[in-house]
Amino acid sequence: MRLLGASLVLLLAGGMGCGFGGSGGLTLGYLDWNENVASATLTKVLLEEEVGYDRVELKLADDVGAIYDDLSEGETDAFQDAWMPNHQQYVAEGEGELEVLRKPWYVGKTKYGIAVPDYMKDVTSISDLDHSGTGMIMGLEPGTVLMQRIASDVIPRYHLSTELVEGSTPAMLAEFSSSTACKRPSCFSPGSRTG
């Protein structure tokens, strides 16, 4: 069986029910990220139907920090969408309790982005945001490194008065659809890309 996701993080010291690859129960933690919902759901089906687990429970966490707290505290047994090195701080906080099972599929630097709709022609840099009519930066996924960096680095560096609003992927996409439908000024942090 091939597990999906950037990396798999497991709880150590016997927190795996009857052991990975046997019968019994297992709890997979996941976040409301489209790819993580898909991989966790597929893994649940595969573990129950192909590997022989009696029960695989999926446990939704509120944010990235919470998923690692759940792992460290034994509330969940595994999480499949560890973005390394971005999540390294969370793994380090659970040192001795957590283990990243395989090398990340990507080990280079991650680039983050803030995007505006194409019709906002006057915005060519981050410093243009405050003068564009944009009232907020609609963020993506509370607790992510991207959100922390926008709050701690980007807003102070550019002296922005634009409000940073944390939201889930569905909330960000809904705001994007609403803003672009009426062509009002808007700004989004659509996540990260590798490169």
- Output the CA–CA distances (angstroms, integers) from residue 165 to 103, 136, 139, 173, in the order listed: 33, 7, 6, 13
Q: Is the pLDDT of residue 107 over 70?
A: no
Q: What is the pLDDT of residue 45?
A: 94
The Cα 149–Cα 14 span in angstroms is: 35
- Place 73 in a pLDDT band, splitting at 50, 70 and 90: very high
Q: What is the pLDDT of residue 5?
A: 37
Global model pTM greater than 0.75? no
- Whether domain 9-100 has CATH 3.40.50.10420: the reply is no
Given 3.40.190.100, 1.10.10.10, 3.50.50.60, 3.30.750.24, which CATH number is that of 110-194?
3.40.190.100
Q: Are 72 and 93 in contact (CB under 8 A)?
A: yes
**Percent of all residues in the chain with a pLDDT value above 70, rounded to a whole number:** 77
**Residue 188 token pair:** 């989004």
Domain ranges of the chain: 9-100, 110-194
Q: 111 versus 106: which is more confidently predicted? A: 111
The C-alpha atoms of residue 172 and residue 75 are separated, in whole angstroms, by 28
- Report DSSP letters for 75-87, one per residue: S-SEESB--TTTT
The DSSP letter of residue 94 is T
Average pLDDT over residues 130-146: 79
